[in-house]
Amino acid sequence: MTLPMTWDEWTAHDGVGLAERVRKGDVTPSELAQQVAAGVAKVDPALNAVVELFEDALASPAGNNTRLDGPFAGVPYLMKDLGPTLAGRMQEMGSLFMRGNRAATDSFLAGRIRQAGLNIMGRTTTPEFGVCSSAENPAVYVTRNPWNTEYTTCGSSAGSAATVAAGVLPMAHGSDGGGSIRIPAGVNGLIGLKPSRGVFSIAPGLSDLTGLVSSQGCLTRSVRDTAAFFDHCRGGAVGEFMPYWTPPEPYTELIRRDPKPLRIALSHEWGDYRAVPEFVDELARVGRFLEGLGHYVDWALPAVDLRAAFEAQTTCYISNFAQVIAGMLAARGLERPPADLIEPINIRIWEAGIGTTFSERFRMQATFNTTARAFGAFFEDWDIILTPVTALPTPRIGTTEYLTISDNPSVRDWFGNLWKNFAYTPLANLCGIPAISMPIGEQAGGLPLGIQAQAKQANDGLLLQLAAQIERAMDGKWNSGRRPRVRV
């Protein structure tokens, strides 16, 4: 089969660029879909990142309910196998227990994605129910990092991160309940923005208030792709429990201008958790780079009881996931999770969380309130707080302590160990504030190191402005121009 572009030409385009080529008549949406299918065939044997491609979406993007006159003009898109549903498509959530599960309807966000002109043409890997830090269970699949396949992609938006990093397509879906967009973006060399609350709907099945911490988004290789996705896919469905908001200016316009000089705080001392020295050095280096762009940079941290915040966050995850699992069990008439179909830590989460009382949740929410207020007060004095995305080097494949196949008998100890590496991301979810991972750091072994910027509620656009300023300053060469070993 003759492809419409060479692979070098293909990977030089982002989603907005491909859409421009379609509108000029240089290439058709069907040809774009065929190029993605060829890319999956080329790299997925090494990465194991794509669960399924939809043959009908390859054959006819228009027949896939893609609005071809939308802003993305039929650009291919892959969905994480968790969260927003697609009518008639399977959604198996990285779990043996959910094998064969087929969705009855499109979620509201899936409809927005189709209206934006993105051709949803397949599913990407995720850990079971999105709980842990890597799509890595040999009984289901093991997704590998394209920069070095001996290492994990992290998660939970694992397959989406691997396919975008490998150049298969310019952007893919992710969701983030504690860092699940930003962490895989960080270790795969991508841009990953977790939005503020009130941006992307999870209607009709749930609302933002149902789980308090999880949000939707995308992983990309260019700031303008992220900006365009936010501009065209945001918004609430009818009957939302909270207001959905739109910025006064589209992000695609906003990012053309540099932000004003910003007050940027650096931090790696996050309660009980500390980054390894090489990551602190990278953070300091990025701080000096930002000073060179005209920003004021210093070390500072919000006045937050971080130990209490992580305790509340852990209670939130345990009780939330316990109820999610309970719903799946009830749908099958089961009283408890089957040990041969649900991973050990998820069974322990169900056991530990199913009896959570309203009083425990009330105390948790009280800590959410004081934590969010403290971050809010901090952002009265500072525009941005900058951290590494992770505190420790990326785990090798087979490091089970972070996985839900772990044999750790204590759920709280398992979460406590998780925070030692992934401390910097979850509090943005707790507070409902925006946070972005930018591919501007490097680990000693050559893997990417994302640097995270967080801002106050509804300042998503400021994060994109800063990222766009950095992108221009580096002539578009994220990751210092380096490319993964496994790529199309």
What residues are labeled active site?
80, 156, 180
Q: Please give the biggest Cα pair distance in the chain.
A: 63
- 131 Cβ partners below 8 Å, 6+ apart? 156, 317, 321, 345, 346, 349, 404
* Cβ contact 203:107 at 8 Å: yes
- Which tokens hold the place of 293? 């762009």
Nearest to 128 by CA among 101, 88, 89: 101
In the beta sheet, which residues pair with residue 193? 436
Helix, strand, coil percent content, the chain, rounded in steps of 5: 40, 15, 45
Sign of the C-alpha dihedral computed for residues 425, 430, 431 and 432 taken in this order: positive
- For residue 225, give both structure tokens: 């792709």
Q: Which residues pair with 151 in a beta bridge?
A: 396
- CA pair distance 327, 340, nearest whole angstrom: 18
d(CA 86, CA 104): 8
d(CA 425, CA 280): 16
User: How far is it, in rounded angstroms, from Cα 217 to Cα 205?
Assistant: 18
In the structure, how many helices (H) and strands (E) does the chain have? Answer: 17, 17
Residue 393 contacts residue 276 (beta carbons within 8 Å): yes
